[in-house]
Chain A
Amino acid sequence: MSGIPIRVELPAHLRTLARIRGHEVALDVHATPTIATVLDALEAAYPMLCGTVRDQVTRERRAFLRFFACQQDISLDSPDAPLPDAVANGSEPLIILGAVAGG
């Protein structure tokens, strides 16, 4: 259990959908911070985001989104792997990023 809010940076369209001001949200994650537990906390706090980052049934990451932390692409890591210490202690955000597209 972290006890420290986990910072999550969201794409602009999801911030608009969830009416979030600023680039980040701070989430209380009542479990070891992992991609899965952080997304659980995100969806609990903002139910309108259910299905927008991961599939509601398979819980797989949507294909055009990536997860970054501490300058690393952790999209292909296990969703149950502990996030880096810098994310767990709140000094770095977990970044959810939309793939660049549009030519």
Chain B
Amino acid sequence: MTANGSRVRLLIGTRKGAFILTADASRKKWEIAGPHFPGWEIYHLKGSPADPNLIYASQSSSWFGQIMQRSEDGGKTWTPAGNKFVYDGVPGTHQWYDGTPHPWEFKRVWHIEPSLTHPDHVYAGVEDAALFHSTDGGQNWDEISGLRTHTTGSAWQPGAGGMCLHTILVDPTDPKRIVIAISAAGAFRTDDGGATWKPINRGLISKHLPDPTAEVGHCVHHIAAHPLRPGTLFMQKHWDVMRSDDAGDNWHEVSGNLPTDFGFVIDVHAHEPETLYVIPIKSDSEHFVPDGKLRVFRSRTGGNDWEPLTQGLPQSDCYVNVLRDAMAVDRLDACGIYFGTSGGQVYASADAGDSWKAIVRDLPPVLSVEVQTLT
């Protein structure tokens, strides 16, 4: 996408509200609007590809539960949408942390995925793990229950952050093919619009499991794909960076020379399907970047060979985390990369990661980052 007249709009979800950052194509000067919904946890915001001024937001609170918000003017004003998320039928149980049966209980919406073609069609990934769909702009939500009622569902267990469905990838060439991921059940795919699902975890190895190669139980942190190659998937697992070239049927590790292969985010360059970005985190018990250095690692070879990107990022005394939905890429010719930290910084690169700048430094802890490229 050429830069003439283009703008970018960042949608930032934080622990205490939402912020919207806008800039022209140079991405040098940013306007910051917010907080929207101050005091509420905003797990995710995402705009409709079919109508970029239509933005959905997940607003939640331990006190007041889940609210869904909808803006029709690019995030300037908001209207509450429907917030009734009811599991289909008798929900039954999944496994609790100690292996005992635990009732399925709706807690919050982690991820919103609007349709590529219909502004009022939108998916929601929720905790306890399930996939919901709305066809009326978020007023009413119905569960796509074939996922949760998969034969393995009663054996799913939560990760430390809860049993969340956090990744939804709809194949741009075949909207009936959807890949989702759940912590800590793993990845699943439907090829029939959600009626039936299958685990796609072959090749994942998780040493915390009694059977490290089990069909389900893997703590998948995030999955990304390039729109032109929907069959090639990249995964940041709890530990290990993984790749699949057959839509998840088989995975192999591409962690290569990363300093640690624990992490949360992973994303793909907008125009180079083999260029990947991850931010290694020290370990599963030390959720901060290693050695006090905030480094994005880029692979131009689809994995295995990684280079640290440090220009403009703090290289001493830095101990932030970057959560699973807190990285995004724009679609301008010089691909922009963005990520937000647990310290409230949002960093941007307008040159595919070669250099970085904090475009805002003192927000509440960042939960999610999305970017819209506007013409």
Contacts and interface: CB of A to CB of B under 8 A. Distances in A.
B84 A13 contact: no
A52 B59 CA distance: 12
A65 B62 CA distance: 10
Given A13-B39, A13-B40, A62 B83 contact: no
Contacts of B64: 11, 13-14, 17, 52-53, 62, 65, 98
Interface residues of A, number: 18
B61 interface: yes
Given A13-B40, A17-B80, A48-B80, A57 B86 contact: yes
B172 to A, nearest CB: 34
B67 A48 contact: yes
B65 interface: yes
Interface of A: 11, 13-14, 17, 48, 50-53, 55-57, 62, 64-65, 98-99, 101
Q: Bin the interface of chain B by size.
A: 10 to 19
Given A17-B80, A56-B86, A57-B86, A98 B67 contact: no
- Interface SS, B side: loop
Given A13-B39, A13-B40, A98 B63 contact: yes
A1 to B, nearest CB: 29
Most chain B CB within 10 A, of A14, A51, A98, A99, is at A51
A99 B80 CA distance: 24
B66 interface: yes
Interface in B8-61: 39-40, 61
A32 B84 CA distance: 27
Contact of B65 (A11, A52, A99, A101): A52
B67 A52 contact: yes
Contacts of B62: 64, 101
Given A51-B83, A56-B84, A57-B86, A62 B39 contact: no
A13 B63 contact: yes
A91 B231 CA distance: 66
Interface string B71-107: 0000000001001101000000000000000000000
Contacts of A48: 67, 80
A13 B39 CA distance: 8
